[in-house]
Amino acid sequence: MDNILNQIGIENYIFLSVILFCIGVFGVLYRRNAIVVFMSIEIMLNAVNLLFAAFSTYHQDAQGQVFVFFSMAVAAAEVAVGLAILVSIFRNMHTIDVGNLKNLKG
């Protein structure tokens, strides 16, 4: 494991994670379908998980990998709540387009 990390270099892992994270950010900002927005949030969190695993190997320290479990559990709980909110929006408004959420303005 250590060998591979030396060959590839920690920087490349960081670049990959940053790119994935930015893809997630732009997905949240530009996509209008709520499901796709949820997916983009998951991409952001998983990009971070990837970087945690890389740093964990880089430091030869298991804490980072344990943290990934926490963040995966939290992400699952978060999306469960988000989907529940989405279902109630769909029941009331018959759409899951985030752009239609315009009742609150001022």
Partner 1 sequence: MNTLIAISGLGVLCLLFEIFNFRKAIVPVTIIGLLAILGLTYAEFNAPASFYNNMIVVSKFSAVFSALFIVLTVFLIALSHDFYEDHQTKISDFIAIKIFMLAGAVAMVSFGNLAMFFLGIEVLSISLYILAASNRLNVKSNEAGMKYFLMGSFASGIILFGICFIYGAMGSFDVAEITEWSRSAELPIWFPIGITLVTIGMLFKIAAVPFHFWAPDVYEGSPTLTTTTMSTLVKVVAIATLYKLLTAMNADLSDTYINIIIVISIASMTVGNIMALKQNNVKRMLAFSGISHAGFMLMTLLNISNSAGNLLYYTTAYSLSGIAAFAVILYVCKNKNNEDIANFNGLGKNNPLMAAVLTASLLSMAGIPIFAGFFAKMFLFTQTIEAGYLIVVIAAVINSIISVGYYFKLILAMYNKEANEEATKTPFVLYAVAIVSILLNIVLGLFPSVVLDLLG
Least CB distance from residue 7 to partner 1, whole Å? 19
Among 24, 54, 60, 52, smallest CA distance to 39 is for 24
Which parts of this chain interact with partner 1 (CB under 8 A)?
10, 14, 17, 21, 24-25, 28, 34, 37, 41, 44-45, 47-48, 51-52, 55, 58-59, 61, 63-64, 66-67, 70-71, 74, 77-78, 81-82, 84-86, 88-89, 92-93, 98, 101, 103-106
Least CB distance from residue 80 to partner 1, whole Å? 9
Least CB distance from residue 86 to partner 1, whole Å? 7
User: Closest CB to partner 1 among 4 and 104?
Assistant: 104
Least CB distance from residue 103 to partner 1, whole Å? 5
User: Closest CB to partner 1 among 16 and 28?
Assistant: 28
Among 38, 9, 57, smallest CA distance to 98 is for 38
Q: How far apart are CA 51 and CA 98, in angstroms?
A: 30
At 27, list the tokens: 């997905």
Give me the half-sphere count of Cα atoms (radius 13 Å) on the Cβ side of residue 102: 5
Report helix angle 34-59 to 63-93, nearest 10.
Answer: 180
